Each structure stands twice: as structure tokens, then as C-alpha cells.
Amino acid sequence: MSIIVDQNTKVLVQGITGNEGAFHTRQMLDYGTNVVAGVTPGKGSQKFDGIPIFNTVVAAVNETGANASAIFVPPAFAADAVLEAVEAGIEIVVCLTEGIPTIDMITVRHYMKDKNAVLIGPNTPGIISPGKCKIGVMAGYIHKEGNVGIISRSGTLTYEVVDQLTKIGIGQSTCIGIGGDPIIGLKYVDLLEMFEKDNGTDAVVIIGEIGGQAEEQAAAYFKENMKKPVVAFIAGVTAPPGRRMGHAGAIVSGGVGDAATKIKTLEAAGIRVVKNPSDIGKTVSDVLF
């Protein structure tokens, strides 16, 4: 099985006619994702590779029944694109855009509190349930359908872990990049809960990094609520305090969010923490078999 997306997910792409949106829409189509609509204001009634384009998300939803959105919209307009999708009734919003102003995401977070929708990202590579659906920029060809869930703050490390697992014959149920910005939608805790309930997931991999306390919260949730094994890796062990490392959310400040503390907390909760990313595949194999 999988979580959040599957073969029945109907996807629309906001910003489908831009360079990024166009390229990755074609990649999603090639993978087999059911892309049913695109949205670009002013280009309604046109088509993109046979896919109808609409001026608004609500028009696209009403016409096609889309229930998920991939957002490839410039940073200044991306938060509004998320709000438009949620207002139109989209249940799964995947925001790929990087560099959205934090104040804009605060508005999005407050707006979505009581809404029947989930947000993945922003600044995410997306989500993939191998063999069923891909929303975003993940390299579909390295994935294999299987029983390991992956939650990551790092796109590059996600690909490394997936490649390791696939090469030793271990497939993935769903892989999610939660995004590297300070304010994001779904967090580790939300997704651990989903994977714990998913009959098709037997183990979970967490790929974390310095900054914030999301991994510590995941450790607490695991200790109190999970029976399935979790393997974790924390990037940024050698990062100097106070310096951002790659992602806007990857910064250690005031003694909070450093790699050593995260590793200690995860291990204390009973999570297997891998020190070298090249050992993740073997460690997952050990906990499964």
C-alpha cells in the first residue's frame, strides 16, 4: 500500500506552462501519474500535451475532479497558489517552490489549520508512491514498489537512500520530502503516524538534518506510539553553529538543533541512528530481516 497518493490520485499542475512546470509535468506523465489539468491565469482553454489548461484552480477542479496539486509557481506568488488550491477543495498540495517569504508561509499555516487538506513542502522534491503516482521532481526510475516508507528533509540524500534500497531489492511504499524551509506543512510526526497505520509499510527511514526540533519530536512520537522499526540519519554533524547549511531551516542557534543532540535523542527513544549514509540500506535490511 502507500500513504497520501496512489494510482487514483488526480493531479493538476499550477504553473504548468513555465519551464519547470512544463518539464516536470512531462516527467510525471511519463511515470504514469494521472495529470488531469493545468492552471495558468490567462491561458485558459489552451492545452499542454493534451492536458486542458484553466485560468483558475476552482475551474480545473470543477471540470476534472482533481484532488491534488503540484505547485511550480515563482516564490512571490506561491503562497497565494497554495491558498487558491486549498480554497478550491484540493486535498493534497505539493509546493515545490523554493524561497517563499517566511511571512507568507505563516499566513498559509494559519489559513490551513481547520482545512481538509495537507501541504507537502514548500521547497520539497515532492512525493512518490512507486508504481502508482509521482508528484514533484523525484527521479522515478530509481524507485521500486515495496514496504519501506521514507521521510526526508534532503532531496539529494533521499535519492541516495532510495538507490541503496532498490539495489538490494528493498522497495518503498511512499517517499516524501517534507521540505527544508523553516515553516512547512506535514512534519515527521504527521507522517510517522500515517506510516504506522499503513498495512503496506513495515519500516520507516527518517533523513534529518540540523536545525529546529522536528527530529526530537519524531523521537518522542516513536517512543510513545510506534511498533514499526525506524532508521534515521542526521546530516550536518560537522556544521559550525549559527551558519545555514543548504536549507533555510538548517541552522543551529542558541544550542538548539545541533546534530549531536538530535542523534542522542533519537537513539534514546530506540531508533537506529546510522552515522554514515552509505550504511542506511544495510541497516534497513537488518531491521526488516
Catalytic residues: 247
Phi, psi of 134 (to 5 degrees): -130, 125
Q: Which helix (H) or strand (E) holds 126?
A: strand 126-129
Q: For residues 36 and 65, what is the distance between their CA atoms, to the nearest angstrom?
A: 8
41 neighbors 60 (Cβ within 8 angstroms): no
* Residues forming a β-bridge with 152: 177, 207
User: In terms of Cα–Cα distance, which of 205, 50, 179, 162 is closest to 123?
Assistant: 179
Query: How far apart, in Å, are the Cα atoms of 248 and each of 121, 204, 251?
Result: 12, 25, 7
